[in-house]
Amino acid sequence: MKTPTQGSSPDGREGIANMAYRPLKYTTALTRRVMFSSLALSVISGCTLRRRIAEKQVKQLGAVDAGQHREMALSPTAPYVIEPPDSLSIRVKPDDFGVFPLESVVGQDGMADLGFIGRVYLAGLSVDHAEAVITQRLEEYARNNKITLNSGLKVSIKVDESKSKFYYVMGKGVQQARFPVSGRDTVLDAVMTAQIKSNALLEKTYVVRPHPAGLPDQVMAVDWLAIRDRGDTTTNYQLFPGDRLVIPGGPEPGLVETLFGSR
């Protein structure tokens, strides 16, 4: 009969103690991984549930307005209204007045310094109206100073830099900011430009358009999923100066949500 060697059990099975230890260590590590995975899944599920509850609590404001200008049906730029602090370039023909072209910035008081003809109030005027006002001032200057004009005056104004026209992106789901209006801005452009937060509820986005006192509110719902997933342009509204794009948000994410995500 074979004699059991050192480290063997009496029944002849070698190293049974060591063999028993190794499976126990493996089982403990596996248990820990399973527990950690279960905890992670539980946290992610909790975050998802928390977000869904927040989505239900935030109401969708406004209504879809299919008659609005939107992507693929943009409106031509409306007549530009000069406001502080727009930067203007003014040209005059014929060149009887040698100091033109003239660069001027509309001040906070609405006045533009036009050099030898003085300061002229231009705030709130369309470009065409401002050209007519400057033409009248130049004609008065010519008469007062006995300057003979070889032909009729023609004044042209170019807005070198528009600094007075903005749309606004607001709400708990975004870093609030204002953006200059280019004339072809849409909801999608604004979302892509803004700094969207992780708690943003883009599916509850809406547009608020300013209006004079006494007129009804104009609030337009945005179907973000249709814009993003189906290329539907119905609610990808064109944004005009003063428009507010509001992006609601749910609760601010905690550390665990930041690590594991909310979905």
Domains present along the chain, CATH in parentheses? 59-77+165-247 (3.10.560.10), 87-161 (3.30.1950.10)
The pTM assigned to this predicted structure is 0.71
Residues 104-134 have pLDDT tens digits of 999 999 999 998 889 999 999 999 999 999 9
Secondary structure of the chain as H, E, C letters = CCCCCCCECCCCCECHHHHHHHHHHHHHHHHHHHHHHHHHHHHHHHHHHHHHHHHHHCCCCCECCCCCCECCECCCCCCCECCCCCEEEEEEECCCCCCCCEEEECCCCCEEECHHHCEEECCCCEHHHHHHHHHHHHHHHHHHCCCCCCCCCEEEEEEEECCCCEEEEECCCECCEEEECCCCCEHHHHHHHCCECCCECHHHCEEEECCCCCCCCEEEECCHHHHHHHCCCCCCEECCCCCEEECCECCCCCHHHHHHCCC
pLDDT > 80? residue 145:
yes
> What per-residue confidence (pLDDT) applies to 14?
53
pLDDT > 80? residue 236:
yes
For the chain, give the mean pLDDT.
83
